[in-house]
Amino acid sequence: MSEEAKPKVVRHVKRFPKRTCIVTFTEYKDHIKISVVMSKYGCLGDELEFGKWFFSLMQAYDSDPRPHVMENQHSGERAILTDSCTLVIAEKPPNN
C-alpha cells in the first residue's frame, strides 16, 4: 500500500508596525493553498507594504501550473487566484 506524500508547507512571517502577518503556502499534488492570517484586521496604514511583501512571496509560484486557492478562515469562502491576480469566488458557504 503506497502512502500519499505529505504536502510541502512553507510559512512566512512578517512583523509590521501594527500587526503581524503569516502567509502559508501548502503545496498539494493538484493545487496550492494560500492562507493569510493577521494578528489584527482592518485598515491600519500598512496595506501597501503588506501588498508588496505578499506579491514578492507569490512570485515564487507564478510559473506553477497548479491552481492557487485561498480560503478565508472567518467566512469559509474559497477563492481561486487567476493568472491576472484576480480572486474568483469558487465556494461560498450557505447563509453568507
Which pLDDT score is estimated for 83?
A: 63
d(CA 61, CA 65): 9
**What's the average pLDDT block by block, 10 residues per block, for the chain (96 residues)?**
78 95 94 91 91 92 88 76 61 58
Residue at 3 is within a domain: no
Residue 48 DSSP one-character state: H
Query: Do the domain assignments include residue 17?
Result: yes
Range of the domain at 82: 8-91
Q: Is 15 among the domain residues? A: yes
**Residue 72: per-residue pLDDT:** 75
Q: Spell out where the chain has E strands.
A: 8-15, 20-27, 32-38, 68-71, 78-81, 87-91
Q: How many domains does the chain have?
A: 1
Contact between 55 and 23 under an 8 Å Cβ cutoff? The reply is no
